[in-house]
Amino acid sequence: MNDGRAIAERVTGSRVLGTGSALPRTVVTNAELAEKVDTSDEWITARTGIRQRHIAGEDETTSTLAIAAARAALADAGVEASSIGLIVLATATPDNTFPATATKVQAALGCQGGIAFDVAAVCSGFLYALATADSLLKTGMANRALVIGAETFSRILDWEDRTTCVLFGDGAGAVVLEAPSGESDGAGILGTRLHADGDQHDLLYVDGGPSSTQTVGHVRMRGPEVFRHAVVNLAEVLREVLEDTGVSVSDLDWIVPHQANARILDATARKLGIAPEKVIVTVHAHANTSAASVPLALDLARKDGRIKAGDLVMLEAMGGGFTWGASLIRM
């Protein structure tokens, strides 16, 4: 079996120059949550693997977290904000209905004049944003991009619904992408697949919105059905990307999945025959941070030395809509 390098080196997309992340100051453990909600540490841990989550304070918003993650990614990449011509920010919890939260990030970083917009695909948002940015960079619309996943999901939770409020947290993650050049060492985005199935929109949704209720609303979810769809869809899209790129499961160095639930991570890995030690897991510490979860986990695994230059890394996620996708990257 080829190791993926020969094929991957022939077709490369935008390169990842750096990563960054940001988390709210306040950490809420399961035990602390159980003081306010009819639940327990044992109940949450057994069903989700979550032990704590970060919750945004009054002075912390989706934009402030996104800005902090973006600055960290720029510092990691060693590039100036002025070199960024494109910002794609994935979020389901924008600061305002409009303008796009990405424009606030642009203003804070001082890189005005380029492109800045938000993407709404919930937990798959970062994968959608990454693919969008990669495509725009390939067309020459910009040379460098910031791709950000940022959420303050705590602001749309029903804190009396223990089936949902225990699952989510707040945070942000970002990557700096650079357009592919004529000369390639094989590093970059090798393949991406995205999907959506609007027939399932009512299995995971927010029961509010400007046009429907004129309210923000709260997260509603039919958990067991979401679980079943997630395991099947994630396994299928991962296989699609492997087939597109001519890479086998055994060639992968790391899987960075959306951190929704430890049981989904375990079930998907088993379905694909992926060794558990290859799966980056942060759900115990961050809970489900929606669009932020994949870039948060990616940054953590780079910073602690697990993910290194040259590694083959598969990102994958599924969220409300349903939306789902996967992206294979040579770091």
Q: Helix count (H) and strand count (E) of the chain?
A: 11, 13
| Sequence-ordered alpha helix ranges (H) in 169-316 | 223-245, 262-272, 283-286, 293-303
Give kind and range of the element (H or E) at residue 198: none
In the chain, what is the greatest distance between 2 CA atoms, to the nearest angstrom? 58
Active-site residue among 30, 111, 218, 258? Answer: 258
Residues 6+ positions from 189 with CB-CB distance below 8 Å:
12, 13, 14, 15, 16, 130, 134, 177, 327, 328, 329
| Residue pair 68/54 in contact by the 8 Å Cβ criterion | no
| Residue pair 325/191 in contact by the 8 Å Cβ criterion | no
| Residue pair 53/27 in contact by the 8 Å Cβ criterion | yes
* Residue 258 known to be catalytic: yes
Q: Tell me 38's DSSP state.
A: S
Active-site residue among 54, 123, 218, 286? Answer: 123
| Whole-angstrom distance, CA of residue 300 vs CA of residue 277 | 15
**Of 214, 187, 230, which is closest to residue 316 (Cα–Cα)?**
230
Residue 24 has phi, psi (to 5 degrees) of -60, 155
3-state SS, residue 226: helix
Residues 6+ positions from 200 with CB-CB distance below 8 Å:
229, 321, 322
Active-site residue among 30, 233, 261, 288? Answer: 288
* Residue 111 known to be catalytic: no
**Of 255, 201, 259, which is closest to residue 225 (Cα–Cα)?**
201
| Whole-angstrom distance, CA of residue 127 vs CA of residue 322 | 13
* Residue 2 known to be catalytic: no
Point out the residues that are catalytic: 123, 258, 288
